[in-house]
């Protein structure tokens, strides 16, 4: 009977070890899947943001030069555009910071939950 109990315990320990290793692999693959899903969604968004940022830089330089011409000195135009963006930044940081944080948080949570359902 002792030999039978001993072999049962060894078999049980071996199964527990295999189960633990398998569970570890499943968790690892699930994490890799979620991270790759989020990154693959973010990369096109980053490229679009870079392109929009480049567009805005050129538009703002053109606007600053145009305003500078109207105001009489080129640097006045850059001051005006800079002041406008300073004002936008203050308004954004006072009123919209939490809202934007919530939007991105909800986006990531939806992505993770969506990949769980699939």
Residue-wise pLDDT tens digits, 27-74 = 998 888 888 888 887 888 899 999 999 999 999 999 999 999 999 999
pTM reported for the whole predicted model: 0.54
Q: Note down the domain range covering 21.
A: 2-117
How would you write the chain as a 3-class SS string? Answer: CHHHHHHHHHHHHHHHHHHHHHHHHHHHHHHHHHHHHHHHHHHHHHHHHHHHHHHHHHHHHHHHHHHHHHHCCHHHHHHHHHHHHHHHHHHHHHHHHHHHHHHHHHHHHHHHHHHHHC
State the total domains in the chain. Answer: 1
Tell me the pLDDT tens digit for each residue of 80-91.
999 999 999 898
């Amino acid at each position: 009977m002792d030999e039978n109990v001993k072999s049962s315990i060894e078999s049980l320990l071996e199964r527990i070890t295999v189960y633990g290793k398998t569970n570890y692999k499943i968790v690892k693959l699930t994490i890799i899947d979620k991270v790759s899903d989020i990154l693959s969604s973010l990369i096109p968004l980053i490229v679009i943001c870079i392109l929009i940022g480049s567009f805005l830089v050129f538009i703002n330089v053109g606007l600053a030069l145009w305003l500078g011409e109207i105001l009489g000195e080129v640097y006045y135009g850059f001051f005006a555009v800079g002041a406008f963006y300073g004002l936008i930044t203050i308004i954004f940081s006072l009123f919209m910071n939490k809202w934007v944080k919530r939007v991105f948080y909800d986006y990531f949570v939806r992505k993770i939950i969506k990949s769980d359902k699939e």
